[in-house]
Structure 1
């Protein structure tokens, strides 16, 4: 089956120990053309909600536990009802059964604040036809200021940095600006001179035998794909470090990547028009590990 799948979820309280048949009964497949939101849903009207996107390879979803944990953490940040993780896991498994057993796909989990009577929840499963040439050809990035300092997450938690919210207008605007500058993607920077992350991806740098990513306590969304890669890289002898990264290190490192759940590891080939070093052999190993 190559058409997108839509699965509505009727929320079960997080502390309810629901039996498997009740979890299954709370899920309902609907045609992808069937409307599932009212015009008054806070997710549509205000972007007030959260989501997660899982990559799927040959019928297996990557990082289910990590994505569910991040969904739960985002719900806390937005004062949304805690998700019943067993119920959402059942939804992921139902979509995996409905999606093709070979090739790549994506699964998205969405919770909005709804219309006032409770959250609106659904999952989608979409086969991915792209072969992602960026994994081998690389991407050019532009550095774009996010407009606040590196420690904003600690000083202004109401800005929701570190939560994966539906409010992606700024992220999409950053991608459009990067393209206007002749780049393929962007790396956000802080006003005090640190590299942060991409609009839809995590940043990783290689410096000798050490792989570095920005520390998540400084307004960075915890990257599930980045965490998977760090586990793999440590297993093959690399040192992996979380710390603040001055913007200048983008040009001075031995290699750099933007990594995400569906595109996986895309090597950065240029920063603001300046070519940088790449490591295509390590890129291939990283992507092979993720796909496996």
Structure 2
């Protein structure tokens, strides 16, 4: 059984249906790791797709329809996969969205992933994403700045907004440890589903959390940092810009424990 499945609105997608999407860029998506047919934070993924659809297209499909499409794609592949659900309109780009046109849902699965082991060195880049609260496609800057960072000897890049605040990574959220609490950076960013899962489980575990502005000058006072996304709840960061960060294995272990505390569910 192949791990690569492509479904459009719950059915296997044809080449003719996929061809118009080759250069399309007005869409949003969510990404998840599925193990044994289940994923963590399903409610957060559904809320992400629902909110972005209303914002971009003026309407959203019912959650149960989305779940039906996810189930169909997962039933066609193995139990452990990476999953992408992308929402777009067949009305196309460069036209005003029509609320009477239902969005389409493209679900793709592929081999499971767990992210890099780290620790990572991140270049500090001045950049603010367009529509940062939406996980949308076509963001050339993320890959461009990753490429630039690697050419400079880093592993990836983190973004600084125009106020000099650290916001997020190319495809990551950032979290810091101040010795007693998890620190989430205050800035415009995409709130990741992994970030949501970890945050609510940390609350249930009684772990203090704070949201505050974090700048490069603040890093020496912090006791560790990680990046997280749908692959993993925490990859250690050893350097951000020119600032070295201490190893924080207990912090990383705490985030993984919080993730494991979230019960996985089937769509």
TM-score for the superposition, normalised by structure 2: 0.84
CA distance 1:224–1:147, change in 2 (3 Å): closer
CA distance 1:147–1:219, change in 2 (3 Å): closer
In structure 1, C-alpha distance between the alignment counterparts of 2:206 and 2:257, rounded to whole Å: 17
| Aligned counterpart for 1:290 among listed residues 259, 262, 266 | 259
2:184 paired residue number? 213
- Show CA shifts across 1:52-71 (max 9, x none): 10122333112111011011
CA distance 1:272–1:245, change in 2 (3 Å): closer
CA distance 1:147–1:81, change in 2 (3 Å): closer
Aligned Cα root-mean-square deviation (Å)? 2.4
What's the secondary structure of 1:99's corresponding residue? coil
8 Å CA contact retained: 1:77, 1:160: no
**Where do 5+ consecutive residues of structure 1 fail to align?**
10-26, 149-158
1:176, CA displacement in angstroms?
Answer: 0.9
1:290, CA displacement in angstroms?
Answer: 2.7
1:163 paired residue number? 134
1:257 paired residue number? 226
CA distance 1:251–1:55, change in 2 (3 Å): farther
Name the stretch that deviates more: 223-232 or 252-261: 223-232
- Show CA shifts across 1:168-223 (max 9, x none): 211111111111221111111012110100111111011121111124xx421112
**Where do 5+ consecutive residues of structure 2 fail to align?**
93-100, 262-267
TM-score for the superposition, normalised by structure 1: 0.78
1:48, CA displacement in angstroms?
Answer: 0.8
1:84, CA displacement in angstroms?
Answer: 2.1
What's the secondary structure of 2:6's corresponding residue? strand
1:146 paired residue number? 127
In structure 2, C-alpha distance between the alignment counterparts of 1:119 and 1:95, rounded to whole Å: 18
CA distance 1:100–1:249, change in 2 (3 Å): farther
| Structure 2 residue 89 is matched with structure 1 residue 105 | no
CA distance 1:147–1:260, change in 2 (3 Å): closer
CA distance 1:185–1:80, change in 2 (3 Å): farther
8 Å CA contact retained: 1:266, 1:283: yes
1:15 paired residue number? none
| Structure 2 residue 69 is matched with structure 1 residue 91 | yes
1:121 paired residue number? 105
In structure 2, C-alpha distance between the alignment counterparts of 1:132 and 1:197, rounded to whole Å: 17
CA distance 1:132–1:171, change in 2 (3 Å): closer
| Structure 2 residue 207 is matched with structure 1 residue 238 | yes
Query: Which segments of structure 1 move beyond 4 Å, counting only runs of 4 or more?
Result: none
1:273, CA displacement in angstroms?
Answer: 4.4
| Aligned counterpart for 2:12 among listed residues 4, 29, 48 | 29
In structure 2, C-alpha distance between the alignment counterparts of 1:59 and 1:181, rounded to whole Å: 40
